[in-house]
Amino acid sequence: MNTKELPKCPIETTIKLTGCKWKILIIRDLLDGTKRFSQLKKSVKGITQKVLTSNLREMEDNGLLERKVYPQNPPKVEYTLTDVGYSLRPVIESLKSWGKDYKKYTKLLEKMK
C-alpha cells in the first residue's frame, strides 16, 4: 500500500490494514509461526479458500506477511509474518484480553438478572 493512500488517522490506518475479522484471525495464527495454506484454512474457521487467498495477497502486498513457494509438485506454499506483522502482537493480545474481560462481564450481568 502506498503511503499516500493511507488515512491520516493512525487508528484508521490500523483498521484499514487489519480491519476484517479474517485478517486478525490469520495474524493470530501466524503469530505462532509459519503456516501452510491448508493449516490456515483449517484454523480460521468459516473462511472460504477464495477469501483466504484474497486476504493473504492483500496482507503480503501491505508487508504484513511473506509468502514462500517451494518448487515442487504439488506446490508447497508457506506464510510467515514479517517484522511489521509480528509488531501487531500487542494489538492482538489486547483484543484477546478485552474479549476475555467482556465475557466475564457479560456472565456477571447474567447472574445479576
All domains of the chain in start order, with CATH:
7-112 (1.10.10.10)
**8 Å CB contact between 46 and 60:** no
* Tens digit of each residue's pLDDT (9 = 90 or more) over 41-97: 999 999 999 999 999 999 999 999 999 999 999 889 999 999 999 999 999 999 899
pTM across the whole model: 0.83
Burial zone of 62 (CB within 10 Å; 0-12 exposed, 13-18 middle, 19+ buried): middle
Cell numbers found for residue 106: 457479560
What 3-state class would DSSP assign to 101?
A: helix
If pLDDT is split at 50, 70 and 90, which confidence band does 12 have? confident
HEC-encoded secondary structure of 43-90:
HCCCCCHHHHHHHHHHHHHCCCEEEEEECCCCCEEEEEECHHHHCCHH
